[in-house]
Amino acid sequence: MHTQPEITPERQAYYDRMAPQHLAPLWERLRGLIKKEPQPKTQPVHWRYDDVRPFLMESGQVITAKEAERRVLILENPGLPGQSRATSTMYAGLQLILPGEVAPAHRHSQSALRFVIEGKDAYTAVDGEKTYMRPGDFVITPSWTWHDHGNESDQPMVWMDGLDVPVVEILDCQFAEGYPEDRQILSRPAGDSLARYGAGLMPVGFETRSRTSPIFNYPYERTREALSTMAKTQDWDPCHGLMLRYVNPVDGDWAMPTMGTFMQLLPKGLKTVPYRSTDAMVVSPVEGKGRTTITTADGRVTSFDWQARDVFVIPGWAWHTHEAADEVVLFSFSDRPVQDKLGLWREMRGNASSAAAS
């Protein structure tokens, strides 16, 4: 890459004359447009559940779920102030539903995931079916499906919302509408879709045009069992421990078209080899304690000591390592399916020298 051309007074006068024609010289902007490497605005950030929970519970006194429509505290990245983004491409928030409350039905072109943090047996209804949720469950609201949430239990329910809002916004494809009633009409019993599509079986003749998995609750119980059984082989990936991705059983693709979701087990004492990939990760530990150390493009090193129910962000293309103080289970999500489909996703597995050079 050669150097930035000088802006002489003559050149500046020329640029000023063309500006009213909505023209601009590329040679002044090329380096800003075509960068040698990603320079994400996304910063590493850590929300401790112990710090956030009091604010979340206070929201229950400030507004009802019905008045708020969705009573959520947005997890906003400090590198993207005012933009309601956890990363450049992903929205995240913590939603509270108190016993007896309903978050009224609506639908939108944005896809949403729920990752349950606290409480049990509140529900999400999607497309005529309710699913009751437990901590660690991964629940999907596909694009343009009616969804309402309610809590029939006797305790508060908190989950992390992940939405592809920034992706849909950059494509200018936002659509949303409200349902005439608070609750949608139910047409199938709770648990129907998991039975139908999530038992390694599929109804004969099933066809769908949806890009989203027909399973809309992946219960933690099953995910944990898979990890525990696989852990017995002690076959750890040096960068990831044991990392699984949630899949759409129809075609083996990602469970959601715009958001990749993962569950990962790190054995107690594992220190992972440095790793980076172009997708920024939103991570929520489900079990255990540990530390993640992140080196961002500017050379700054950040360490987070996290525990279950926290949320933290690893910016894209930032070298990072995890250290597991206990046996650890991590849920995470990113825009990886989008990057994959566009042929853009990259990863680097480090060793001592590449990490030191970064």
Residues at the interface with ligand GTQ (CB under 6 A): 70, 72, 93, 95, 108, 112, 147, 161, 163
Residue 112 CA to residue 109 CA, distance in Å, equals 9
Residue 161 or residue 287: which is nearer to ligand GTQ going by CB? 161
Residue 216 CA to residue 188 CA, distance in Å, equals 13
Strand arrangement, sheet containing 102-108? 129-133, 122-126, 147-151, 102-108, 176-178
Residue of 162, 196, 179, 218 whose CA lies nearest to 334: 162
Separation of CA 338 from chain center? 13
Residue 21 CA to residue 14 CA, distance in Å, equals 12
Residue 235 CA to residue 224 CA, distance in Å, equals 17
Are the beta carbons of 146 and 107 closer than 8 angstroms?
yes
Output the residue with the shortest Cβ distance to ligand GTQ. Answer: 161
Residue 163 or residue 270: which is nearer to ligand GTQ going by CB? 163
Residue 130 or residue 322: which is nearer to ligand GTQ going by CB? 130
Residue 141 or residue 321: which is nearer to ligand GTQ going by CB? 141
Maximum distance among all Cα pairs of the chain, rounded to whole angstroms: 73
Minimum distance between the CB of residue 243 and ligand GTQ, rounded to whole angstroms?
26
Written as six digits, the tokens of 278 are 């172009």
Residue 150 or residue 274: which is nearer to ligand GTQ going by CB? 150
Residue 145 or residue 293: which is nearer to ligand GTQ going by CB? 145
Minimum distance between the CB of residue 147 and ligand GTQ, rounded to whole angstroms?
6
Minimum distance between the CB of residue 153 and ligand GTQ, rounded to whole angstroms?
18
Are the beta carbons of 39 and 309 closer than 8 angstroms?
no
Minimum distance between the CB of residue 203 and ligand GTQ, rounded to whole angstroms?
28
Residue 150 or residue 241: which is nearer to ligand GTQ going by CB? 150
198: left (phi over 0), alpha (psi -120 to 50) or beta: alpha
Helix (H, G, I), strand (E, B) or coil at 16: helix
Residue 116 CA to residue 114 CA, distance in Å, equals 6
